[in-house]
Amino acid sequence: MATSKLLVSTLRKSLNSPSPSSSFRRFSTAAAEAVAPASEPEDSLNIKGVKISARPLYLDMQSASPVDPRVLDAMLPYYLARYGNPHSRTHLYGWESDQAVETARSQVADLIGASPKEIVFTSGATESNNISVKGVMKFYKEKKKHVVTTQTEHKCVLDSCRHLQQEGFDVTYLPVGNDGIVDLEKLKGSIRRDTGLVSELNVSFHTDAAQALGKIPIDVDKWNAAKDKGGAPNEWGGQERGIRSGTVPTPLVVGMGAACELAKKEMDYDDKRIRALQERLLNGVRAKLDGVVVNGSVERRYAGNLNLSFAYVEGESLLMGLKDVAVSSGSACTSASLEPSYVLRALGVDEDMAHISIRFGIGRFTTEEEIDRATELTVQQVEKLREMSPLYEMAKEGIDIKQIQWAQH
């Protein structure tokens, strides 16, 4: 397995290198062939009015991450040769696609301890969350009127809950602690006789595992998860047992299955590697800088996500200065807005610190060199901004910044 790790990371490096190298040809998998034309020289990029001298290193794995070439290899035949509609019943093309979809369904089920029958393929997490949250409550609507969720859910879950509120359902938005974790006693206390969604008792449990699948162990039986309660759309084509109509896209589903199979084999290995890289980054930054705060729990977090705030610097300047590292501010998927993340606010992070938070996302192919370079660039940039910061100067003189009464103009 270590060999395949080496192969994929070498392959990725050659794909990202400015000019096609001979090593690129040596690892000529179907995936490598397919992406070969993309590796053109990139001496300088001019994009959205910003001139960038070279492709930045990428540490934003919670927003998007590269496809493992082994996964792409599994998908390609279903784009190029086996392109039948999996719902076609009259010819081989349909049958082989259907078989591939069912294999993928088993691979996904196997990763999370479910039965293949319990897996419904959708277009992504937003749709899955909508189907689950609205579907479960509409299924129960005569008997259950109450939903429990947390303030830190992804917007698509919160929006589904708001939609339910408009339809007359009652929603409790539970707070979380400074570590981002829900107090189980508070959770228990919030459950009512008419609660239709959240775990325990005889209510259903839904979880948005978009960032967890394949990264941390999931066992739906231990979670007592709701199975097949979706009273979601039943119109149109009736695919996916009527829960999610529409033609199932075979290559994507095959890719999901292959990714789940790989995750099952390599999750422990990936977790150890990623954990070591996270520690390297945090220790590296802390060795050079004071005032570095980890947002959320240090121990009880997915190691591939490190969300840091840097005291006494201005957040946007920090992000702009870090042009050579692709990172995000805010929580996953909401980085389009510059508002401080509602997730960090729910964790009790001060507004100013929430404004200067950076999310470093580490993945399967991140290297030590990338972590070291990111550390160096972050330290450089924070130091530069602090040199210009009167607040930092004052803090070093022992003045408590929080006690200062600023004059109003």
Which parts of this chain interact with ligand PLP (CB under 6 A)? 124-126, 154, 156, 208, 210-211, 332-333
Instruction: Identify which of residues 139 and 302 has a Cβ nearer to ligand PLP in the complex.
Output: 302
Dist. CA 9–CA 203, nearest whole Å: 45
* CA within 13 Å, CB half, 378: 31
Instruction: Identify which of residues 124 and 237 has a Cβ nearer to ligand PLP in the complex.
Output: 124
Q: Is the dihedral of CA 324, 325, 329, 333 positive or negative?
A: positive
Helix-strand-coil percent breakdown of the chain, rounded to 5? Answer: 45, 10, 45
**Least CB distance from residue 21 to ligand PLP, whole Å?**
33
**Least CB distance from residue 207 to ligand PLP, whole Å?**
10
**What is the rounded (10 degree) CA torsion for 298, 299, 303, 309?**
0
Selected catalytic residue, list 156, 161, 260, 333: 333
**Least CB distance from residue 360 to ligand PLP, whole Å?**
15
Where does residue 311 rank: exposed (0-12), middle (13-18), buried (19+ CB within 10 A)?
buried
Instruction: Identify which of residues 211 and 375 has a Cβ nearer to ligand PLP in the complex.
Output: 211
**Least CB distance from residue 101 to ligand PLP, whole Å?**
20
**333 is known as an active-site residue:** yes
Instruction: Identify which of residues 71 and 311 has a Cβ nearer to ligand PLP in the complex.
Output: 71
- Token code pair at residue 383: 């130091």
Per the DSSP assignment, residues forming a β-bridge with 328 are 359
Dist. CA 271–CA 277, nearest whole Å: 10
Residue 260 amino acid letter: C
**Least CB distance from residue 334 to ligand PLP, whole Å?**
9
Instruction: Identify which of residues 152 and 204 has a Cβ nearer to ligand PLP in the complex.
Output: 152
φ, ψ (nearest 5 deg) of residue 84: -65, 155
Checking DSSP bridges between strand 170-174 and strand 292-294, what pairing results, if any? unpaired
**Least CB distance from residue 256 to ligand PLP, whole Å?**
12
Instruction: Identify which of residues 75 and 332 has a Cβ nearer to ligand PLP in the complex.
Output: 332
- Token code pair at residue 102: 């069912």
Residue 300 amino acid letter: R
**Least CB distance from residue 129 to ligand PLP, whole Å?**
6
Q: Is the dihedral of CA 299, 302, 307, 308 positive or negative?
A: positive
Instruction: Identify which of residues 303 and 377 has a Cβ nearer to ligand PLP in the complex.
Output: 303
DSSP structural state of residue 328: B
Dist. CA 39–CA 19, nearest whole Å: 6
Dist. CA 132–CA 326, nearest whole Å: 33
Nearest to 71 by CA among 25, 148, 112, 12: 12
Residue 221 amino acid letter: D
Instruction: Identify which of residues 197 and 289 has a Cβ nearer to ligand PLP in the complex.
Output: 197
User: What residue spans of 205-289 are helical by DSSP H?
Assistant: 250-288
Long-range contacts at 23-29 (CB < 8 A, ≥ 24 apart) = 29/69, 29/73
Catalytic residue annotation: 333
